[in-house]
Amino acid sequence: MPRVALVTYDPGPEPSKDRDLPVLVEALRAAGAGADAVVWDDPGVDWGGYDLAVLRSTWDYSWRAAEFLAWAERCAKVTRLANPVDVVRWNTDKRYLGELAAAGVPVVPTRYLAPGDPVGPADLPDDHEYVVKPTSGAGARYAARYTPEQHDSAVRHLERMHAEGLTAMVQPYMRGIDAGGERAVQFCGGRLLHASRKRAVLAPGTAFDADKVAHPGLEPWTPTPAELSVAERALAAVPGTPELLYARVDLVDGEDGLPRVMELELVEPNLFLFLHPDSVARVVEAVLAAAAG
């Protein structure tokens, strides 16, 4: 009987935001696996006692990236980690978008400003809306949308992130998201699993440190051939062409109406199985195959 750890976060007194987790635990157990939901930073866990540790919802890692990566390195030494630790290390810093762009993958244009970098007139657009967010973040935390007239607010946002040691990303606000939404194309076991669409997360005037709804208006989606092509090109450009248990490619339309990669989620993407219950069996099949490795 394979033993599988579905790795999650500690929600404290609040309910967990991972709606898929209990469903997956139950489905894996029904399939004959010894499955547990395990908190990644629980010091009492014997990771070597598992055949596979699946990063499922470690959704507090982005503010503790160095600690999380150190844990992932330790875990990968004693069991199989999915996705692999090299992928985790690469994907936890959104500067990977620059590597995808260099490989010819259409991505949202991005400028990076690290702590200590001077913020000059050319760093914040003066002719269109734009988004400022950290290279290590999740759920739109520390993300905000600005007009050129809000330059001073954007500078204060950058200063706050830099004071906390965070590198900032500056991207044009992709207006296509207001009409077409953001599409999440998801893969499992090397095959298309399903796709979903959500509406814009960043409303005008919302402060960067305000709580935001991470997946507004979420609904099932049938990906177009163009969306599938861009998603597959993004996955093919991951360094080392590793074997990925799961992947989510988030896409938005550019000014030309063609899909661009906004994010490539290879660490702990929400799979939205609650929206696609027929996908649970396929995820279980892929997890068991990976555990048998």
82-138 per-position pLDDT tens digit:
999 999 999 999 999 999 999 999 999 999 999 999 887 778 999 999 999 999 877
pLDDT beyond 80 at 205: no
Q: What's the CA gap between 123 and 279, in Å, rounded?
A: 43
CB atoms near residue 91 (< 10 Å): 19
pLDDT digits (tens, 9 = 90+) for 216-239: 899 999 999 999 999 999 999 999
Using alpha carbons only, what angle is made at residue 282 by residues 15 and 259, rounded to the nearest 5 degrees? 85
Q: What's the CA gap between 191 and 200, in Å, rounded?
A: 27
pLDDT beyond 70 at 139: no
Cβ–Cβ under 8 Å, residues 225 and 240: no
3-class secondary structure, 91: helix
Domain boundaries, the chain: 3-87, 96-106+175-274, 111-172
Can you give the pTM of this predicted structure?
A: 0.94
Q: pLDDT: is 290 or 241 the higher one?
A: 290
- Token duo for residue 55: 């990063």
Bridge-based pairing state of the strands 191-198 and 182-188: antiparallel
pLDDT digits (tens, 9 = 90+) for 246-273: 999 999 999 999 999 999 999 999 999 9
Question: What residues does 82 pair with on adjacent strands?
Answer: 54
Q: What is the crossing angle of helices 280-292 and 21-30, to 10°?
A: 60
- Token duo for residue 173: 């606000």
Assign domain 111-172 to its CATH architecture: 2-Layer Sandwich (3.30)
- Token duo for residue 256: 């030309």
Residue identified by tokens 């290879």 is 266
pLDDT beyond 90 at 11: yes
Fold of the domain built from segment(s) 96-106+175-274: D-amino Acid Aminotransferase; Chain A, domain 1 (3.30.470)
3-87 placed in CATH 3.30.43.10: no
- Token duo for residue 157: 């946002």
Q: What's the CA gap between 111 and 125, in Å, rounded?
A: 11
